[in-house]
Every structure is written in C-alpha cells, then in structure tokens.
Chain A
Amino acid sequence: MKMIKNSFNMSLMSRSSNESFARATVAAFATQLDPTIEEISDIKTAVSEAVTNCIVHAYDNTLGKIYISAEILDNNTIKIKIRDKGKGIENVEKAMEPLFTTVGGERAGLGFAVMMSFMDSVKVRSALGKGTSIIMTKKISRRYSVNG
C-alpha cells in the first residue's frame, strides 16, 4: 500500500466550459512533483479526454456532476480519479479501442488511446445506468541536475 502524501477532490458540473478548468486544476496540483513540461502536458491531455468523455458520453450533453480527485503517492506518482454518475459504458473493452466512437461526426474516437498512451496506467470501471470511473496513474521522473 502506497502512502498518500497529498490529495484533493472536487466536483463540477458537466459543462464543456469546465474542460479547461478541470485539466488546469489537476495540472496545478501535479506541479508539486516537479514534472517536466512534457509530463504536465501529458496529464492535462489525459484529464481533458476523461472529462470530455463524461460530458459527451456519460451525460450525453445533459447536466450532471463530474467528480475529480487526485493523490500524490510516495513514489513520486500522481493518481487521478475521474468519476461520473452517467449512463455507463456497455462494452468497456470496445470503448477503449482506438477509433471506436458511438457519436461519430467530429469525434475521433481516440480519447482512451490518448489516456493510455500519455499515462502509465488507466483503469476503467463502469456499470450501465450507474456511471463510470477512470483511475489513471503517472510516475513523474525525478530530475537531478548539476545545473540545478
């Protein structure tokens, strides 16, 4: 069991204007791990995908609540949980396949592919009619530099 060194949690309405707020908040929390610009960017992108999924899929563009929490673990890892109480995913395995999308049109179907590529681990739990939770972790490289 990893020790939790710090944590936060928040909930927000599933409005698309909150996408930038959500990723910026998690990124700001993650800065205490002294991540590189690339690592911060990876976290922001993964959070943006997960939150967009809640808005577009879980709540089908209706209003519901999105619950976001994050923990800093003692091995320099950030663990992020993004949860909704929306419609749930019928087939999680299929939903995680690249280019699979139920809405078509302007959605690329790459949300999970981005999360899996940019984070170290992504776990999805979903129950139809109850909601979905996504837990992602990323270990932040420790930077030791003679130049400070």
Chain B
Amino acid sequence: MTERIVFVVGAGAAGLAAAWAAARHGATVRLVDSGSGVSALVGGAADHRPWEEIARAVALRGQTPLAGELPAGVADFAADLDLWSLPLAEEPLLRLATEAGRLRTARGADSALLDWTQIPAGGRVILPRAIRSEWDAGSLARSLREDTYVRSRGLKLEVVDAKLFKLQGEERIAPADLALRHDEPQRLAWLEMRLGQLVAEAGASDAILLGPWLGVRSPVASVLSKNLGLVVGEVLSGVGGAAGLRFEFARERMLAKLGIELQLACVEAVEPVEDGYALSIEGRQPPEIADAVVLAIGGVAAGGVVYCAPETRAGRDAPDRGSRAFKLSLDAPVDLRAHGKRLDVTSSIHGPRMDDCAWPIDADPGLLEAVGVDCDPTGRVLPGLYAAGDAVGDAPRTVLEAVASGIRAAAAACLTEID
C-alpha cells in the first residue's frame, strides 16, 4: 500500500495536532495555513473545558477539581511541542492571573506564565511598576489581593518601582516585540540584573509577576526563575501578547522535527474526486490531490467560518438568492450547525436576525461561538473529510479540545478507506 496523503488545512493548535498525529500514523502530510488565527492571537492558557464552567461547578460544589485526565495523545503532543506546562491528572489545576485582574484556573499554560500554585503559602509576590498600556501593577495587585485563592493561601502582593525597559520608547512597542528583545542573551542578562536588584531592595520574595514580555524563542521565564531562585512568570494576556508568537515558534520547531513543510497558501475549494479530494489553491494549478483532508480552519474568530451579511454585496439592489447566515471561508461539501441544529436558509432575503443570538446569553454560547461544521464525534463529515478545532460546530473553544479533535480527526483520516 502506498502512503496516504493527508492534507491539513490550517496550522493552529488543531491543525498542528492533526499534522503531528497523521505523521505518526505514517501518512504523508501536507500542511497549509493562510494567516494568524486564534491560536496565534489569544494566548497563554491551555484549557480543556472552559474555565468558567469549572468556576461554576466550584460555586455549586465548593471544591476545586483536580486537573483530570486528558484525551488520548494530548499529553504526548504537548510533550513534543514543548510549549505548555500540563499538570498530571492527579495534580491541581494551574492558577493564572489575567491582565484584567482575575485569578483563574487552567488545565495547562504557556510555560512562561506564572503558575500561582507554585508560590509557597504565605509567599510574597512582587509586581514591578511600568508604564505600558497592558500593565498596571497597582490595580492588578488591588484586584488580585481580593481573590479568594490569594487570601486563602496568605499570599502577599507588593508593588514596587522598577526600571525594566532598557531602551527609550519601549513603553510603546507591542508586547510581543518587547518579548522578542529578551531573547538576546545580553538583554536577558540586563533584565536579570534589574530584577536581582529589585529583589535585593524589596527583601525576601517568592515570585515576580511580569507582563507578557518574557521571550519568544527561548525559555526566558525559566532561566530567570532558576538564576534568581524564585518563580518569575507572566500574567495571562490577551490579543497581541507574546504567547501567540511563542506558539508559532514552537510550531516551527515541531514541524522541522517532523519534516513537514508549512506552506503559506489559501485553499479555495475542497472537492471530492474519484480517488480522494482535490484542493484548489489560490494562484496554483493544477489542484492538489489528497486521500483525506482535515479542515482545521478555525471558527468565526479565526476567519474559518464567515458571517455573510447580505448588505455587503456592493452595488446590488438585493441579494441574488436566499442565503445561509454563515459559510466556510472555502468551498467544501459540508453543512454547518449551531446549538445542535443544522443551519438552514434564513427566511429573510436580508439575512438573519442577529440582535439577540450573536452574543452569549447566560451559560449558553452565542451563535458566533457555536457555529461550525456539522460532523460526527471523530470530526468526520464524509469519508476522508474531517473537521477539527474551532471549525467544529458546538465544540468548546479551548486549546486542548482543539488539539484532541485534531488528533482524533487525523487518526480517523489515516485509517478510513475511501469508497
């Protein structure tokens, strides 16, 4: 039997996991990506179930669950990726401080982030002041001091003045750029020296919380922690932080090891042909042929699923025909679903009524989060055609679920015979 060709569209967490798993199953893997998605934008926390769900359960039961088992293959993938710290099933969940000032649980996290469970009870945490738009040590400390976990463990938060940026204008550059600068050994040594002085002046401390500035290619946080003899780590930041860039570099390393080339290209259509699928790629001829395809193109946030408002057809008086409210960003023989129902043609020529259904209400995700490919639990749409990650309808929008679904889809893609 010749090697199966598995084509993975999208190289976020789900696509990367699918490529990794398909390669392990001995398939020939083609991987294409057409720009930054959610994995590269929102970053730091590696959740499995949404943390809010855990928080709700805690509120009801009054007890924080342990980390718990992960789906098959996830831990192996994470070990190969070497980006996240994932506690074992019987260990406690991680605790991360968010930029917004909450202390939340997480199943795993980018290793540069400060895991608050590592700080000894009664420990002292230092938050240096800095003029950056994403960082207000004073109000962060104020918010975190009120947190139940911080109080129950008797943690002391202290805000101190510090000069942490070496060059002029660094208070205004993007956090990821600042993080990149700390990959330089000299620059890292300078930061270590500054933080060392800080600790010397502030007195015995157990941890330093910083913004998302701690390196991209190299493990700056762990180097600092080791050399300074206390836990140094980042806050969980949002869009534009360093964690997304770190994911991209980790991906580069992993793909190099696997010998898979990441092609930057835009897949326009996936069509069933006699012996598999034909993928039309923008600006290329002829189409590529694959035995199986994994669509890991993300949901609405990543651009994999597109909301099609009829207004946007410029120059026309009315849309040509009734349409579905959402479509995939590429042509493929798939249906979409949300909230357990297949999406139908909306019964207004002017498109759906988004007024109440787009934004999440109570515990239910809104349409924008829920919508995705209608597929079976392995991600199968048709024999040989799979969806993974946020592209799957009604799947939780979490990193580890994306990884798990990528692995599941790739496993199925490598084993299924095409009729």
Whether both chains belong to one complex is answered with: no
